[in-house]
């Protein structure tokens, strides 16, 4: 069994400890810790739909005072407010347009557009092609309003609150972060991200089936935040899983091992799975420190 990683609670954001502690540090591996440069807070990590204890996917990344939300899935907007002022978010980055990764962008547009002090300035939303159209239609009671057609009911559009930027594979600078996007193996266009700052790197799988693209994206990253949606009870069940959709916890561990990442955090945990079984499975494939994601916990890349 690999070393268990202890994520730190950050419900009191002002007191967020700037340390990430290995419960049993690996020989030769220096203690993870000290002054935080990039801080990651897990806002939501429930896979495919919100669970009883967590919203769907959402992660708050902070560096040099810049605040970036990676994904904003169902139920996440509520939990974001426990960790950040909604009006001090600088950008949102969407991995793909499945509801559990993007739908709360609609509610966020309402919060920004109808604030008592007046509409808040637009902030960028980085996302796949058609993000503005898809989210605009989800927001509008009358889809014609979003399309600007004559006779449409009045109402605001998603672009009143956000300026959309289409993600393409490659490197983009978002605030102080260097963000590399790569296509993952999922039924809709989906990007995994590698976030780099001051020589440290966080890789995020988003949703994906097995793919070399994730191994390349996560190569030597300090932390891989990797989905582990499937939890087959046996090999026969594993063989029958749909292809090109999600990873098992064991496959998450295998990808982490092949990429040579320092630490692995399992996320996109589907409510009906046994989380501890997933941790055990991943630990059989990855020998480094690992942990289960949980809302309100976080870590720092020092
Ligand atoms: Zn998905």
User: 201: CA distance to ligand 1 center in Å?
Assistant: 23
Contact yes or no for 40/300 (Cβ under 8 A)? yes
What would the mean pLDDT of 265-280 be, rounded to a whole number? 95
Taking alpha carbons only, the member of 241, 265, 245, 230 closest to residue 41 is 265
**Helix residue ranges per DSSP H, 21-154:** 76-80, 99-102, 104-113, 131-139, 143-147
Q: How far is the CA of 267 from the centre of ligand 1 (A)?
A: 13
CA Rg, the chain, in Å? 19
Model confidence, pTM: 0.88
DSSP string, 212-253: HHHHHHTTT-SEEEEE--B--SSHHHHHTSPSSS--BHHHHH
Ligand 1 centroid to 140 CA: how many Å? 23
Distance 11 CA to ligand 1 centre (A): 27
Picking from 38, 45, 127, the residue whose alpha carbon sits closest to that of residue 91 is: 127
Cα distance between residue 81 and residue 94, in whole Å: 19
d(CA 269, CA 281): 13
Residue with tokens 């020589």: 199
Q: At what angle do helices 104-113 and 131-139 cross, to 10 degrees?
A: 70
Both tokens of 194, joined, read 């590698």
Distance 98 CA to ligand 1 centre (A): 5
CA distance 262 to 225: 11
Q: What is the separation of C-alpha 243 from the centre of its chain, rounded to a whole number of angstroms?
A: 22
CA 186 / ligand 1 centre spacing (Å) = 7
**How much distance in Å is there from the Cα of 161 to the middle of ligand 1?**
24
pLDDT of residue 52: 95
Residue 40 has pLDDT above 50, yes or no: yes
248 CA distance to ligand 1 middle (Å): 14
Please tell me the distance from the alpha carbon of residue 204 to that of residue 191, in angstroms, as a whole number: 9
Average model confidence (pLDDT) across the chain:
87
Of the candidate ranges 59-68, 139-148, 253-262, the one whose mean pLDDT is the lowest: 139-148
Interval 198-242: pLDDT, tens? 999 999 999 999 999 999 999 999 999 999 999 887 878 888 888
**Ligand 1 centroid vs 116 CA: distance in angstroms?**
35
CA of 22 to the centre of ligand 1 (A): 31
- Going from the Cα of 193 to the center of ligand 1, the distance in angstroms, rounded, reads 14
Distance 225 CA to ligand 1 centre (A): 15
Lowest average pLDDT, out of 3-7, 191-195, 289-293, goes to 3-7
* CA 217/CA 206 separation, integer angstroms: 12
Q: Is the pLDDT of residue 19 over 60?
A: no
Q: How far is the CA of 207 from the centre of ligand 1 (A)?
A: 5
| CA 240 vs CA 30, 131, 232, 259, 288: distances in Å | 41, 32, 9, 26, 29
Structure tokens at 99: 């509801």
**How many angstroms is it from 29 CA to the middle of ligand 1?**
34
Q: Which residues surround ligand 1, an ion (CB under 5 A)?
A: 98, 207
CA of 255 to the centre of ligand 1 (A): 18
121-130, 144-153, 224-233 — which is least confidently predicted? Answer: 144-153
Residue 1 has pLDDT above 90, yes or no: no
Write the pLDDT tens digit of every residue in 51-106. Answer: 999 999 999 999 999 999 999 999 999 999 999 999 999 999 999 999 999 999 99
């Amino acid at each position: 069994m690999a070393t268990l990683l202890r994520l730190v609670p950050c419900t009191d954001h002002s007191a967020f400890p700037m340390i990430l502690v290995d419960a049993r540090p690996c020989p030769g591996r220096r203690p993870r810790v000290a002054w935080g440069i990039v801080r990651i807070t897990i806002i939501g990590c429930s896979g495919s739909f919100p669970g009883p204890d967590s919203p769907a996917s959402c992660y708050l990344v902070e560096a040099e005072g810049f605040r970036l939300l990676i994904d904003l899935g169902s139920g996440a907007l509520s939990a974001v407010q426990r960790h950040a002022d909604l009006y001090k978010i600088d950008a949102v980055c969407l991995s793909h347009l499945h509801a559990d990764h993007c739908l709360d962008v609609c509610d966020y547009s309402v919060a920004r557009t109808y604030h008592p002090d007046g509409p808040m300035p637009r902030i960028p939303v980085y996302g796949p092609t058609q993000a503005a159209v898809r989210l605009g239609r989800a927001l509008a009671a009358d889809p014609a309003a979003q399309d600007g057609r004559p006779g449409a009911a009045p109402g605001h559009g998603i672009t009143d609150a956000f300026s959309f930027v289409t993600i393409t594979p490659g490197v983009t600078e978002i605030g102080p972060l260097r963000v590399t996007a790569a296509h993952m193996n999922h039924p809709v266009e989906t990007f995994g991200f590698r976030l780099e700052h001051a020589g440290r790197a966080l890789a995020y799988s988003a949703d994906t089936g097995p793919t070399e693209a994730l191994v390349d994206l996560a190569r030597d990253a300090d932390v891989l935040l990797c989905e582990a949606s499937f939890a087959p009870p046996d090999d026969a069940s594993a063989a029958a899983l749909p292809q090109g959709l999600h990873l098992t916890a064991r496959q998450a561990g295998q990808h982490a091992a092949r990429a040579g990442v320092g630490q692995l955090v399992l996320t996109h945990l589907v409510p009906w799975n046994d989380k501890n079984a997933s941790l055990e499975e991943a630990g059989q494939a990855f020998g480094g420190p690992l942990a289960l994601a949980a809302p309100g916990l976080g870590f720092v890349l020092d």
